[in-house]
Amino acid sequence: MKLISWNVNGMRAVLGKGFGDFVTKEQPDILCLQETKARPEQVPMPLELGGYHAFWNSAEKAGYSGVAVFSREKPLNVTLGLDIEEHDREGRVLTLEFPDFILVNVYTPNSQDGLRRLAYRQAWDEAFRLHLVKHAANKPVIFAVI
């Protein structure tokens, strides 16, 4: 299985920079993208992703954060976020369950200049850790993180 994780720093921007050619060349089974900065309806998807199942978790705030997963195999289950409203507004976590493992795609928040969001980040880290522990009790967990 080939899994690729990539912080694209904007899905619309990467589309014009050979994204489709990259997918064709690499042929990932699962492609995890972070910092998509878009909703799926805002992005004309390249034909190279035609054979993939697409899953997105976008931020409420337009043009901010967001993650997406493209998978050849249809997952058994998909969940968005951590099930904590405070953290789920930013579209940072996407969890997919497959027969043999659980995949968590995450775009971790930073603490920002002057550590303005340090308290938030510390609370987020603990919530994310608990999310991983909960899933690891059922199956092996793979997480793609940036």
Is domain 3-145 classified as CATH 3.40.47.10?
no
pLDDT tens per residue, range 8-40: 999 999 998 999 999 999 999 999 999 999 999
126: amino acid identity, one letter: E
Query: How many angstroms separate the CA atoms of 84 and 91, rounded?
Result: 12
Cα–Cα distances in Å, from 24 out to 21, 28, 29, 101, 102? 5, 9, 11, 25, 25
DSSP class of 140: -
pLDDT tens per residue, range 101-136: 999 999 999 898 889 999 999 999 999 999 999 999
- pTM of this structure: 0.95
**Which residues, including other chains, have CB under 8 Å from residue 52's CB and lie 6 or more apart?**
31, 70, 71, 72
